[in-house]
Amino acid sequence: MATRYDPQAAESRWRAAWDAADLFRAKSPAEAGDAPKAYVLEMFPYPSGRLHMGHVRNYAMGDVVARHKRANGYNVLHPMGWDAFGMPAENAAMQRGVHPGKWTYENIAAMRAQLKKLGLSLDWSREFATCDPEYYGAQQALFLKMMEKGLVYRKASKVNWDPVDNTVLANEQVVDGRGWRSGAIVEQRELTQWFFRITDYADDLLEQVRKLDRWPEKVRTMQANWIGRSEGLQMRFEFSGDAPEGFESGVEIFTTRPDTLFGASFIALSPDHPLTLQLAAGNNALTHFRAECAAVGTSEEAIEKAPKLGFDTGLTVQHPFDPERTLPVWVANFVLMGYGTGAIFGCPAHDQRDIEFARKYGLDVTPVVLPPDAAAASFSVEDDAYTGIGTLFNSGFLDGLAIDDAKRQAVAKIESLGLGEGKVNYRLRDWGVSRQRYWGCPIPVIHCAACGIVPVPASELPLRLPDDVAFDKPGNPLDRHPTWKHTTCPSCAGKAVRETDTLDTFVDSSWYWARFASPDDMAERAYWLPVDQYVGGVEHAVLHLLYARFFARAMRDVGELDLPSGEPFAGLFTQGMVTHETYKAANGDWLEPSEVANKDGAWFEIATGAPAHVGPIEKMSKSKKNTVDPDAIIQAFGADTARWFVLSDSPPERDVEWTQSGAEGAARFVQRIWSIFDGLPETAAPAPGTDAASIALRKASHKAVAAIDKTINEFRFNSAVAGIHEWVSVLKKAEGDTGATLGARFEGASMLARCLVPFMPHLAESCWERLGGDGFVSAAAWPTPDPALLEDDSVTMAVQVNGKRRGEITVSKALAKDAVEAAAHAEPDVAAFLEGKDIKKTIVVPGRIVNIVVA
């Protein structure tokens, strides 16, 4: 009598059994013996309160790797924790009056419960949250060590300032140049802030990223571009009239195109350049212009996309190569103070931003690079700068040179004139870590009027956040706390105040991977690190990963980590998002998937019966109401179904669209698998037969195991899923056999149970139990296919005539090339196309294809 598999009952039973057996605890190096280690880590979640499908996908993928490694004999570390500091907790405090700590820990409890239902093979004994005082205390100690090492400093830096709420805004809180709550036009304001010297490691971070061969190529390219090493020229332009005070030697610029110096038509200063500030002091128009620039906010995107704005200072500088020429000095909103020297020379003909600026303000445009096929007399630049290769012209001593040669000659000339020198510059800026917020790691320093900046003594760490804080008004609660910041100087015992900035939450996630390996034991950290497989969203491809790489180096250099390479993640996989259709009511409001239904192809709103629109497929997000709650799916179908679905269909690196029917299909497949095991007699497994049907079935099983193994190793889980589908169909068909293949069916089922472990671990245990297998299948070894069963002796090859498929032949693999050619020519469907034609040649690719070329 066929039975149904009951996911809810089976899943909770197996999870309890795994817990009782402490199955997924990482072994210590001593316990592990000869077993190789594998550290599998997924990016830990921000505890928003609810698990979403993106988490399910991320952790399901990591679990496939962890379970597969474990089955292959590795000592696996697979930990979980919480990226628990951050703005949403403060927003909740402001909106609902709940304390950020309470809100966060409640969210963690809720999400931990949800996560546990997924049956992930996690070592929960290492769990922590970054808002735990033990964690942020260790982070404060690390900060002080980095400070001692000279990796930390303070400098003035700009923030988005909301003049109504009197608070600093994050870039995402600036919407169209206005504060998200107050609606006030956002200003830029300078504050003295803390920085990490990530640029000290710029060269090494760039050099090493090339060697991370188990990282996606695109992430390595993005990191390299972000660091942005460029060789150029730093030089000064001397003023042609009276120089402004303090700038007697001229204005310093940096350029990567010294070859285009003869095409220079203006100098542009950043609105924040010291000279700009000096000129603005006595100039209302310029002051006004600076304010206009500042109203764009601080994000690079906003600054770059803003229309080009300029202000003519009236000053002029001398062209270095031509005493007859002077260039006007402008202030331009697209010149960033943070890059190079905060000043450039503009060559409109060969730079897109410069041409837009020059056309707007009527500045000269002189082309100096001639494209290979252009004529010097007729070549001109209108609205599109020419940035390609070519030969220099209109350029005096550089005429006729290629760009690279011209760059060298120009730099040499400037150097001989004593006006500057060749210089390497980076796009990468030092990492600003100050945040004027409460829910973050307090920066452990004290400001003393007499002693300056004094570290909080190690004995006083962790320096805890005060619990009694009010969020009734915007601004930094730490700063306005009645007592917390008032203290005495550890050095002179005089009155002093604490730093009230907290650390960027990117700091918290920059070293948690080391803390998981061990809270403080250097040997244990050395054993586990680097992480063998890191899995997370591609949205972290630049910042988080770069910061973590910096921290690994900094920790190594302050003696916190024995990791010579400085690379925390040996293998990286970046997964895509989970998306879903969006739905809108007639009035334009977003609707949840559960609020709409489809009848005869038309969507309507269930509550009202009114028609609804289907919108584009987008990343699941609360604002668009297109989220699917994993809890509801687990409730309805079980965790295995949810895991299976998010791994099927889409390649892991791409987005996956959640569909209800897809989930139902996955649930059906769970039952189909169970029916294979349920359909076997409850007897001991006989040895597989040697008849043709048994051999064919065994070949299918052994090939399937090999293919699944390969696709898991290549992170192609969707292909592994397809392979299991095909295999199950073959096993299912064999149920009709008269009994000769029973041994082969048992063998296939046993292999299948073990191959299911990474994907549907609960079902795999139930299947294993039904087979009478030893212990937990979660602890069983991966099946080993028999090489003899993986080979076929004949092969089917397509036959093409002039590249079009006209037939196929099945031949022995060992057949010689000319015999294959003869067989192809003789194949009736092919021969019809060859009749009366002249065969010019025949290409035979053994085992793949035959292509006959006819006239």
Partner RNA sequence: GCCUCUGUGGCGGAACUGGUAGACGCGACGGAUUCAAAAUCCGUUUCUGGUGACAGAGUGCCGGUUCGAGUCCGGCCAGAGGUACCA
List residues forming the annotated binding site for ATP: 622
Bond prior to 79 in cis (omega within 30° of 0):
no
Closer to RNA at the Cβ: 178 or 236?
A: 178
Residues 6+ apart with CB under 8 A from 143: 152, 443, 444, 503
479 interacts with RNA by CB under 7 A: no
- Quick one: which segment of 95-103, 164-172, 282-290, 745-753 binds RNA (CB under 7 A)? 164-172
Residues 365-404 interacting with RNA (rule: CB under 7 A): none
Closer to RNA at the Cβ: 610 or 832?
A: 832
121 interacts with RNA by CB under 7 A: no
Give dist(CA 790, CA 68) in Å, integer.
21
Which of 8, 182, 208, 299 touches RNA (CB under 7 A)?
299
Find tokens 């010149």 and name the residue. 335
Among 50, 70, 132, 47, which residue's Cα sits nearest to residue 519?
A: 132
Which of 327, 705, 721, 824 touches RNA (CB under 7 A)?
721
- Quick one: which segment of 312-320, 443-451, 585-593, 804-812 binds RNA (CB under 7 A)? 804-812
Closer to RNA at the Cβ: 690 or 796?
A: 796
Find tokens 């061990």 and name the residue. 518
256 interacts with RNA by CB under 7 A: no
Give dist(CA 720, CA 707) in Å, integer.
7
Count of residues touching RNA (by CB under 7 A):
98
Closer to RNA at the Cβ: 224 or 570?
A: 224
Give dist(CA 778, CA 530) in Å, integer.
25
Give dist(CA 752, CA 785) in Å, integer.
12
DSSP bridge pairs for 788: none
- Detail the residues annotated as belonging to a binding site: 622
* Structure token pair of residue 302: 């906003």
Bond prior to 462 in cis (omega within 30° of 0):
yes
- Quick one: which segment of 370-378, 527-535, 564-572, 671-679 binds RNA (CB under 7 A)? 671-679
Closer to RNA at the Cβ: 4 or 96?
A: 4
Closer to RNA at the Cβ: 226 or 768?
A: 226
**What is the residue-wise DSSP string for 806-821?**
EEEEEEETT--HHHHH
305 interacts with RNA by CB under 7 A: yes
Rg of the Cα trace of the chain? 34
726 interacts with RNA by CB under 7 A: yes
Among 566, 457, 453, which residue's Cα sits nearest to residue 153?
A: 453
Residues 419-438 interacting with RNA (rule: CB under 7 A): 427-429, 431-432, 434-436
Proportion of the chain in helix, strand, coil states, percent, rounded to 5: 40, 20, 40
Which of 34, 213, 301, 373 touches RNA (CB under 7 A)?
301
Which of 295, 454, 558, 798 touches RNA (CB under 7 A)?
798
Find tokens 């809108």 and name the residue. 584
AA identity, residue 272: D
CB 690 within 8 A of CB 617: no
DSSP 779: G
255 interacts with RNA by CB under 7 A: no
- The torsion angles phi and psi of 648, rounded to 5 degrees, stand at -90, 175
Return the sign of the alpha-carbon dihedral for residues 819, 822, 824, 827: negative
Instruction: Tally Cβ neighbours within 10 Å of residue 829.
Output: 13
Which of 156, 804, 835, 855 touches RNA (CB under 7 A)?
804
Give dist(CA 586, CA 593) in Å, integer.
15
Give dist(CA 1, CA 339) in Å, integer.
75
* Structure token pair of residue 439: 């829910």
Kindly provide the residue ranges of all beta strands, DSSP E only, lying in 470-526, ordered along the sequence.
486-488, 495-498, 502-503
Closest approach, Cβ 198 to RNA, in A, equals 7
Q: Exposed (0-12), middle (13-18) or buried (19+): which is 739, by Cβ within 10 Å?
A: exposed
- Quick one: which segment of 251-259, 492-500, 670-678, 775-783 binds RNA (CB under 7 A)? 670-678
Give Cα 104 to chain centroid, integer Å.
Answer: 24
Q: Write each residue from 750 to 779 as x if it is in contact with RNA (CB under 7 A), else as -, in one continuous string.
A: ------------------------------
Closer to RNA at the Cβ: 564 or 803?
A: 803
Residues 82-111 interacting with RNA (rule: CB under 7 A): 83, 85-88
Residues 561-580 interacting with RNA (rule: CB under 7 A): 577
359 interacts with RNA by CB under 7 A: no
Q: Measure the CA angle with vertex 200, ends 194 and 204; round to 5°.
A: 135
Closer to RNA at the Cβ: 363 or 538?
A: 538
Residues 528-557 interacting with RNA (rule: CB under 7 A): 538-544
Residues 605-634 interacting with RNA (rule: CB under 7 A): 619
703 interacts with RNA by CB under 7 A: no
Which of 31, 204, 231, 304 touches RNA (CB under 7 A)?
304
Closer to RNA at the Cβ: 27 or 112?
A: 112
- Quick one: which segment of 25-33, 117-125, 235-243, 646-654 binds RNA (CB under 7 A)? 646-654
Closer to RNA at the Cβ: 38 or 61?
A: 61
Which of 214, 480, 613, 805 touches RNA (CB under 7 A)?
805
811 interacts with RNA by CB under 7 A: no
Give dist(CA 142, CA 148) in Å, integer.
10
Which of 214, 360, 464, 654 touches RNA (CB under 7 A)?
654
Residues 311-350 interacting with RNA (rule: CB under 7 A): 338
Closer to RNA at the Cβ: 11 or 162?
A: 162
Among 111, 40, 191, which residue's Cα sits nearest to residue 572?
A: 40
Closest approach, Cβ 647 to RNA, in A, equals 11
Closest approach, Cβ 553 to RNA, in A, equals 16
Residues 8-37 interacting with RNA (rule: CB under 7 A): none
Residues 583-602 interacting with RNA (rule: CB under 7 A): none
182 interacts with RNA by CB under 7 A: no
Which of 104, 500, 641, 650 touches RNA (CB under 7 A)?
650
831 interacts with RNA by CB under 7 A: no
- Quick one: which segment of 134-142, 170-178, 625-633, 694-702 binds RNA (CB under 7 A)? 170-178
Starting from the edge strand earliest in sequence, which strands make up the sheet with 445-448, in order?
Answer: 452-455, 445-448, 495-498, 486-488
Residue 517 vs residues 19, 467, 511: alpha-carbon distances, Å: 21, 30, 10
* Structure token pair of residue 79: 């930990």
Which of 422, 475, 615, 651 touches RNA (CB under 7 A)?
651
113 interacts with RNA by CB under 7 A: no
796 interacts with RNA by CB under 7 A: yes
